[in-house]
Structure 1
Amino acid sequence: MLIDLSRLRCTQPAFVTVFPTALAIAGGWPSARLVLYGADGAMRSMLLAGRIPDTVQLAADLASARELFDRRPLQVRRHRDLPMHNAAAGAARRFVRESCEIWVVPPTIREIAELLSSELVSNAVEHAHSSSRLTVTGTGSALRVSVRDYSRTVIPRPRPIDVGAFRGRGLHLVAALSQSWGVHQHADGKTIWVNLQLDSPE
């Protein structure tokens, strides 16, 4: 889709986040493609300040937009909303596998991403008692997997491992297998994210 912004006026910086969000929900690149063009100086500054061109191509005019239509953005991103259900972890693994295959992520990184997404979504179901949004983001050098829940439960921390327990090792796996990880607190929940370094460009 090509969107002409020449007549669009916006005073709220948060508004421009609708473009990458819509692209991710629609399936993300390359399943869905979006190029913005014709923005005036104020709108362009707002888009750049929000780093929108990282995930959505930005062109000066229609001709340039057509040239960018098939080009991969600096970041590619996909979302999947998952229910509070035991089957959510399996759905997360399938979604991550599909995303990695589309973006040509190395198999070793894909397998780790599948495992960690499953653990994080399981945590949302079992401990936060919440549905979740799984987001996968790819760049030329890293893959990020994040899971947002909608519960005000305490921010998780790894607990001592109980060698006799079947569960309870999720965050230990996250810490051991990722290059970095963290938690963002929201008013109505939290997002746990992990970064995986790619062996080679996607």
Structure 2
Amino acid sequence: MDTRIRLALDTTGDAGTRVRGEAAPDDGAAVDEAEAPHVVVVALTGPLSQVTARPLAERLVELLRRHGGVVVDVSGMKLTHSGAVHAFAEAAALAGEWPDVRLALAAPDATTAALLVSSRVAQRVPVHPDTATAVAHLDERPELVRGWWRFTVDPQAPGAARGHVRRVCHRWAVDEEAREAAEIVVTELVTNAVEHAASASVVEVERREHSLRLTVRDFDLAPVPEAHLPEPTSPRGRGLAMVAAVSRAWGVESHRDGKTVWSEMTTTA
């Protein structure tokens, strides 16, 4: 049976904002959240604004990590700032990986529903017309699923990154060819971060229909060398050539404090 919780979004002036959570089961009894039901339905009331967005995201992260599945009924919510809808995508990203955490929204008004689509929040957090439909479809994979991990300058980082990528590819039903390509890419790029850039790195993987995108962010200001095969006698330098060979597309984005190398692979589903 679903557990239902009310979350009131209250602005408290200069003192800041809090998200009040009050359990509200049908029989009026108190809810012990430690029992961790399979699905929690959260009914939001009050204004969702720039001020209330962050504490809402933090509260949803707590609920997702504790219960795994959360449906948010937004019919009683008043949206006062368009950017605040990103709180839902932020919560989904911070809480963990699908299918361990599953978040969906239910019963938005027409304006909010359109904004969720135009802002692309609906790609990460599915939107449904009512809570019953949202609960029924909560286990379905969203249009976009994502995983991310941080690594230190450690010789074991490339192997750890490869293991994470292999694990999520299996859970997200990525075909073997794309999975193997992703493992090659993340191994080469994290190895470059550790051995050449001497930098920590952040790995992100995104899964969409027929597409897998992998990025490795480092904090080295040196430019990325050309992706070409070295001389046959050279023991090093094949990393970016391997990335280029197994990727549908790849590239580099520069930042003030480093760079991101990205790679995309085509998947069969």
Task: Say which of 186, 189, 199 aligns to 1:120.
Answer: 189
In structure 2, the CA distance between the partners of 1:160 and 1:98, relative to structure 1 (3 Å rule), is closer
Report how far residue 22 of structure 1 moved: 3.5
Shift of 1:155: 4.3
What residue identity is the alignment partner of 2:231?
D
| Paired amino acid for 1:19 | F
Other-structure match for 1:9: 79
Q: Could you tell me how far 1:23 is from its partner in structure 2?
A: 2.4
For the residue of structure 1 that corresponds to 2:79, the secondary structure is coil
TM-score under structure 1 normalisation?
0.85
The equivalent of 2:209 in structure 1 is 140
Match of 1:36 among 67, 83, 105: 105
Structure 1 stretch displaced more, 19-28 or 94-103: 19-28
Aligned to 1:88: 157
Match of 1:154 in 2: 223
Matched length: 199
CA distance in 2, matches of 1:156, 1:62: 52
Q: Does 1:106 align with 2:171?
A: no
Q: Tell whether the 8 Å contact from 2:152 to 2:199 is kept in structure 1 after alignment.
A: yes
Q: Is the 8 A contact 2:229 2:237 kept in 1?
A: no
Return the offset for 1:41: 4.4
Q: Deviations over 1:57-83 (max 9, x none)?
A: 112332232123112111221111222
Q: Aligned partners of 2:143, 2:243: CA distance in 1, in Å?
A: 25
Q: Is the 8 A contact 1:120 1:147 kept in 2?
A: yes
Identical aligned pairs, as a percentage? 37
Work out whether 1:168 is the aligned partner of 2:237.
yes
CA RMSD of aligned residues (A): 2.3
CA contact (8 A) 1:59 1:65 kept: yes
Q: Counterparts of 1:47 and 1:110 in 2: how far apart (Å)?
A: 31
Which residues of structure 2 form unaligned runs of 5+? 1-69
- Note the alpha carbon deviations across 1:138-172, whole angstroms, 9 max, x for none: 22212111112233332443255132222211110
Give the CA deviation at 1:113.
1.2
Q: TM-score, normalised by structure 2?
A: 0.66
SS in 2 for 1:34: strand
1:69 counterpart residue number: 138
Instruction: Considering fraction of residues, name the structure with more strand.
Output: 2
Larger Rg: 2
Moved more, 157-166 or 137-146: 157-166
Match of 1:60 among 122, 129, 135: 129
Q: Which residue of 1 aligns with 2:27?
A: none
Out of 95, 107, 126, the residue aligned to residue 26 of structure 1 is: 95
Q: Distance in 2 between matches of 1:171 and 1:10?
A: 47
Cross-structure match for 1:48:
117
**Farther off after superposition, 133-142 or 112-121:** 133-142
Higher mean Cα deviation, 153-162 or 55-64? Answer: 153-162
Change (3 A) 1:66 1:194: same
Give SS of 1:91's match. helix
**Counterpart of 2:200 in structure 1: which amino acid?**
S
